[in-house]
Structure 1
Amino acid sequence: MANQITPHFQNSMGVAKIEIGTKEFKCIGALPPFDHPHVYLDMGNETEIVCPYCSTHYVFNAELDSAAASPAEAAYNKKSA
């Protein structure tokens, strides 16, 4: 992902699971100003990971675009926030 922007995801909604279209991303916790330190997470060969700060459970979904999420509002775009 060297020449790409790393997607960011958040869980202000408090859902149990967020499906995302990438295995390398940053979790910000909740929407600013209630976010936690933005942590880089890499699933590697796995298909799911739990954020060590907020315990959000992320699951890889290959059908989603790399910056997309389900629910859609979990995808964080600083420009639109």
Structure 2
Amino acid sequence: MADHVIPHFHNDSGVPAIAIGVREFMCVGATPPFDHPHVFLDLGDDDEKVCPYCSTLYRYRADLGAAETDPPDHLYTEKTAA
């Protein structure tokens, strides 16, 4: 089992850049059903990376937690049946 969860981020609001607090993540584009293929992105030693599907620029910021984004509310969480 994986020792950590890879956060997924969306860009429903269409902002050009999203600051995140992790270096490994998934971009889903917009939330389903308007999402693109969920692509794994790894910043490595870089502080920025552009999603090849939706062109969202992700910027690493060490002051943000794994579930935080700037602007806020871009963490994607899958809805589960109650």
Given the two structures, how large is their TM-score scaled by the length of structure 1?
0.91
Q: Where does structure 1 lack aligned partners over 5 or more consecutive residues?
A: none
User: Distance between the aligned counterparts of 1:78 and 1:69, measured in 2?
Assistant: 17
User: Does the residue aligned with 2:37 lie in a helix, a strand or coil?
Assistant: coil
Alignment: residue pair count: 79
Residue in 2 that maps onto 1:34: 34
Which residue identity lines up with residue 58 of structure 2 in the other structure? Y
| Aligned alpha-carbon RMSD (Å) | 1.2
Which residue identity lines up with residue 17 of structure 1 in the other structure? A
Residue in 2 that maps onto 1:22: 22
User: Distance between the aligned counterparts of 2:13 and 2:72, measured in 1?
Assistant: 11
Q: Give identity over the alignment, percent.
A: 52
User: Does the residue aligned with 1:53 lie in a helix, a strand or coil?
Assistant: coil
Given the two structures, how large is their TM-score scaled by the length of structure 2?
0.90
Q: Please list every run of at least 4 consecutive aligned residues from structure 1 whose deviation after the TM superposition is greater than 3 angstroms.
A: none
